[in-house]
């Protein structure tokens, strides 16, 4: 079977397959990195659950609402961490750049353009 990857990449994946399977990441994540805090993965998961609830209820929303909800979830998660853990957490801004990276990989939108704030 042919893959569009270097042989060394395939070997690394196979060598680390148990650790990769054990990682609990948000849907759509294709790149695992040590630089991305686990807290942000949790924000993504909870935000996706919220988005699914909104879609099932037939509610409409756009980028601004999603970013505000992400900030709210992040704030709530920070409140549950011990104070010593929060000192090392970077500020989360839920910026347009974050949204652009989060949005296309995490859910199917019936009308992508309607989700962007105007």
Is residue 34 situated within a structural domain?
yes
pLDDT for position 73: 94
In 3D space, the residue among 72, 32, 68, 56 whose CA is nearest the CA of residue 107 turns out to be 56
76 domain residue, yes or no: yes
pLDDT at 63: 85
In a domain, 2, yes or no: no
117 within 8 A of 64, measured Cβ to Cβ = yes
Q: How many structural domains are present in the chain?
A: 1
Domain assignment present for residue 19? The answer is: yes
Domain presence at residue 116:
no
The answer to whether position 114 is within a domain reads no
> What is the chain's Cα-based Rg?
17
pLDDT digit of tens for each residue in the chain (118 aa)?
566 778 888 888 788 888 767 766 655 555 655 666 778 888 888 998 898 888 888 888 788 899 999 999 999 988 887 765 555 566 888 888 888 877 755 555 543 434 444 4
1 domain-assigned: no
Residue ranges making up the domain that contains 32: 7-108
- Over residues 54-79, the pLDDT tens digits come to 888 888 878 889 999 999 999 998 88
Residues 6+ apart with CB under 8 A from 8: none
Give the pLDDT confidence score for residue 1 in this predicted structure.
Answer: 53
Determine the Cα–Cα distance for residues 74 and 39; give it in Å rounded to an integer: 8
Handedness of CA 43, 46, 48, 51 (dihedral sign): negative
């Amino acid at each position: 079977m042919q893959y569009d990857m270097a042989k060394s990449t395939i070997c690394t994946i196979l060598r680390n397959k148990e650790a990769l399977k054990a990682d609990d990441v948000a849907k759509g994540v294709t790149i695992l990195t040590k630089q991305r805090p686990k807290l942000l993965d949790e924000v993504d998961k909870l935000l996706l659950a919220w988005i699914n609830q909104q879609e099932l209820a037939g509610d409409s929303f756009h980028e601004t609402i999603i970013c505000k909800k992400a900030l709210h979830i992040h704030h709530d998660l920070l409140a549950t961490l011990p104070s010593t853990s929060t000192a090392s957490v970077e500020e989360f801004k839920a910026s347009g750049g974050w949204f652009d990276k989060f949005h296309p990989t995490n859910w199917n939108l019936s009308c992508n353009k309607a989700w962007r704030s105007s």
